[in-house]
Amino acid sequence: MKVKVLRYKKEFNDFQEFVLIEEYGGEPTVFTSETPKLYSESATLEGLMEYIETNDYYEGLDLDWDKVELVEYDLIESGEVGADIRNKLSPCKTLASLVEVFLNEEHPDKKNGIKELIWDVLEQNKKSVEYLANLL
């Protein structure tokens, strides 16, 4: 799922820390954090600025809007991508093994059989590589 997060621009903060606008002591305050506040995918920096600047609650908020950006982030369940990548790499491992066997085989009839297997696995391999290339 895609979300948006507010963070400092690289030229103003080497670590590009996340920017949080939270209540502290009854007043809205700007904090930096390693954990972002999530905004909807449709959020815009202009919309967020307009909301804060026209809402009396945020009056006096000390945030230089030129130093921050609202960027898109992928929110992914832990472990899901790793398992998916491992599964998609199986045809690549199989192809490498088949090519190795093919190159070491000297008997022409056996080479032809292995060659057919290589073509089949090659098609699966192309699909996996295309999927992985578009994964993130």
Handedness of CA 101, 104, 108, 110 (dihedral sign): negative
Condensed to tens digits (0 to 9), the pLDDT of residues 70-103 reads: 999 988 777 777 777 888 899 999 999 999 999 9
Q: Residue ranges per domain, the chain?
A: 2-74, 80-133
What tokens appear for 50 in the block? 């307009």
**pLDDT for residue 60:** 86
Residue 1 has pLDDT above 90, yes or no: no
What tokens appear for 117 in the block? 């297997």
**pLDDT for residue 78:** 74
With a CB cutoff of 8 Å and minimum separation 6, the contacts of 86 are none
Neighbouring-strand partners of residue 28: 23
Q: How many CB atoms lie within 10 A of CB 4?
A: 21
Distance of CA 52 to the CA centre of its chain: 29
pTM score, two decimals? Answer: 0.58
Q: Average of pLDDT values for 28-40?
A: 93
Stated length of the chain: 136
